């Protein structure tokens, strides 16, 4: 690309979110220029596109916390033009211009090589949501969880993190119970991904007793609030909870009883600032363990023109699985 050539990018300003023609010198600083092929729609991208506070640290900004593409040019010896790379988080689409554009300028040290077994499209389908689901599974394994311990609950089941967590856990031999607001309409979808049983979201989303019948060895939660508190109250003695999201709310309206009477462990998951070694470990495991047929079945692709609509729909809980953005379409 010549310095004067223009390309398409979504821009969010205080008042609006628009797809517009952009020049390379608008991208901001960074030692590496990436020709983006695919980005995606995560919950955070929905917040950014809808001007909700807490994601974009300044305006105007190109949103998009994920990108997959090719090295265009880099000041680092580590990267050569044409190499396939991906980036999830590290401030992309939050503190600096993001992936919802045909080009992105980034710190080359934040990029990861796309695993050979995974196409660029599938790497974008995995995106931050799938990376976070894998981080959650790794955290459970590191804490000693095995399939023999008992069923694992996945909340926000039909969402991006939830869908990929279900297929990963079921593929690893866990008995997965899915909690979903779409227990009826998405039941065959969730079962095909590997959920053994589906419970309605409302079983968990209202205030409940601080200790309930012990049902689950672990929970992968992307919902927070009463849902997480009820899940904690249903964990077995020594049960594990990974917590990454706040789709119901950021509050934690519970008691210490599951921790002090049942030895429950609460494990926070943050994908944005995950260290490089953990990123590489997670992507290696995704390449080894993720069922790519399941991944394809939970993914749809949209052109850049539909990004604004998709951002509104993910916040309304209307998107299922993962949405890849083809930045050239
Ligand atoms: N910590 C991190 O590094 C990290 C990384 C990735 C994502 N996240 C967070 O994880 C959450 C999920 O992200 P995502 O990309 O998977 O989003 P998503 O695709 O929108 O999935 C969220 C799911 O939560 C459920 N849900 C939505 N509103 C709800 C409500 N009011 N009460 C209960 N459940 C509700 C829905 O599933 P059902 O229809 O099946 O109920 C929805 O599909 C977000 O809060 C996101 O910010 C955090």
Q: pLDDT confidence of 15, banded at 50, 70, 90? A: confident
Residue among 245, 278, 282 to mutate when testing ligand 1 (max atoms within 8 A of CB): 245
Q: What is the pLDDT of residues 168-183, one digit of tens each?
A: 999 999 999 999 999 8
Residues making up the chain, counted from first to last: 329
- Going by pLDDT thresholds of 50, 70 and 90, the confidence category of residue 120 is very high
Average pLDDT over residues 312-317: 95
Distance 170 CA to ligand 1 centre (A): 20
Contact 175, 196 (CB under 8 A): yes
Residue 8 confidence (pLDDT): 97
Cα–Cα distance list, 46 to 157, 209, 306, 310 (Å): 18, 33, 12, 7
Residue nearest atom 42 in ligand 1 by C-alpha distance: 159
Determine the pLDDT at residue 53.
87
The span from the CA of 258 to the CA of 268, in Å, is 16
For atom 37 of ligand 1, the residue with the nearest CA is 156
Residues 6+ apart with CB under 8 A from 76: 31, 32, 108, 109
In the block, residue with structure tokens 């002090």: 260
Q: Is the CB of 163 under 6 A from ligand 1?
A: no
User: Residues 131-148: what's their mean pLDDT?
Assistant: 98
Residue 235 has pLDDT above 90, yes or no: yes
Distance between Cα 319 and ligand 1 center (Å): 10
Cis peptide bond upstream of 236, omega within 30: no
Residue 5 has a pLDDT of 84
101 has a pLDDT exceeding 70:
yes
pLDDT average, residue stretch 10-25:
94
CB atoms within 10 A of CB 223: 28
C-beta neighbour count of 250 within 10 angstroms: 9
Distances (CA, A) of 19 to 7, 36, 41, 55: 10, 15, 15, 19
* Ligand 1 within 6 A of CB of 129: yes
Categorize the per-residue pLDDT at 118 as very low, low, confident or very high, splitting at 50, 70 and 90: very high
Say if residues 238 and 266 touch (Cβ distance below 8 Å): no
DSSP secondary structure of 51-71:
T-TTS-SSSSB---SEEEEEE
Neighbouring CB atoms inside 10 A of 197's CB total 13
User: Tell me, what's the pLDDT at 3?
Assistant: 65
Q: Read off the pLDDT of residues 250-278 as tens digits, 9 standing for 90 and up.
A: 999 999 999 999 999 999 999 999 999 99
Q: How far is the CA of 320 from the centre of ligand 1 (A)?
A: 10
Residues 192-227: tens digit of each pLDDT: 999 999 999 999 999 999 999 999 999 999 999 999
Distance between CA atoms of residues 157 and 221, nearest Å: 9
**Dihedral sign of CA atoms 62, 67, 70, 73 in order:** positive
Tokens of 206: 């209202």
Task: Taking the CA atoms of 299, 301, 304 and 310 in sequence, report the sign of the dihedral they define.
Answer: negative
Query: What's the gap in Å between 6 CA and the centre of ligand 1?
Result: 35
Task: For residue range 73-87, list pLDDT tens digits in order.
Answer: 999 999 999 999 999
The mean of the pLDDT values for the chain is 97
- Structural domains present in the chain: 6-114+299-326 (3.90.180.10), 128-268 (3.40.50.720)
What share of the chain in percent tops pLDDT 90? 96
Q: What is the pLDDT of residue 1?
A: 64
Tokens of 239: 């049960």
Ligand 1 in reach of 158 Cβ (< 6 A)? yes
Query: Which pLDDT value is given to residue 4?
Result: 72
Find out whether 170 and 195 touch, Cβ atoms under 8 Å: yes
**Strand (E) or helix (H) holding 162:** helix 160-171
Per-range mean pLDDT, top range of 2-6, 48-52, 210-214: 210-214
């Amino acid at each position: 690309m010549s310095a004067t050539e223009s390309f398409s990018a979504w821009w969010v300003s205080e008042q609006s979110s628009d797809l517009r023609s952009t020049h390379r010198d608008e991208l901001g600083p960074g030692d590496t220029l990436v020709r983006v092929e695919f980005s995606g729609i995560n919950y955070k991208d929905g917040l950014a596109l809808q001007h909700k506070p807490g994601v974009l640290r300044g305006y105007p900004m190109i949103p998009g916390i994920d990108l997959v593409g090719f090295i265009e040019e880099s000041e680092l010896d580590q990267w050569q033009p044409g190499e396939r790379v991906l980036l999830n988080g590290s401030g992309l689409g939050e503190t600096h211009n993001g992936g919802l554009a045909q080009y992105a300028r980034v710190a080359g040290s934040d990029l990861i090589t796309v695993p050979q077994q995974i196409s660029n499209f599938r790497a974008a389908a995995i995106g931050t949501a799938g990376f976070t689901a894998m981080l959650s599974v790794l955290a459970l394994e590191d804490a000693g969880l095995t399939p023999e311990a008992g069923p694992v609950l996945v909340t926000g089941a039909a969402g991006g993190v939830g869908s990929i967590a279900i297929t990963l856990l079921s593929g690893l031999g866990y008995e997965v119970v899915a909690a979903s607001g779409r227990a009826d309409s998405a039941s065959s979808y969730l079962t095909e991904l590997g959920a053994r049983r589906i419970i309605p979201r409302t079983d968990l989303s209202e205030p409940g007793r601080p200790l309930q019948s012990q049902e689950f060895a672990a929970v992968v939660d992307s919902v927070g609030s009463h849902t997480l508190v009820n899940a904690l109250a249903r964990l077995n003695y020594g049960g594990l909870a990974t917590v990454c999201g706040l789709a119901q709310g950021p509050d934690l309206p519970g008691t210490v009883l599951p921790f002090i009477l049942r030895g429950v462990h609460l494990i926070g998951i943050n994908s944005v600032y995950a260290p490089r070694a953990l990123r590489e470990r997670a992507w290696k495991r995704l390449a080894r363990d993720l069922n790519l047929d399941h991944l394809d079945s939970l993914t749809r692709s949209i052109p850049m023109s539909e990004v604004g609509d998709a951002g509104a729909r993910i916040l309304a809980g209307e998107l299922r699985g993962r949405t890849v953005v083809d930045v050239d379409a």
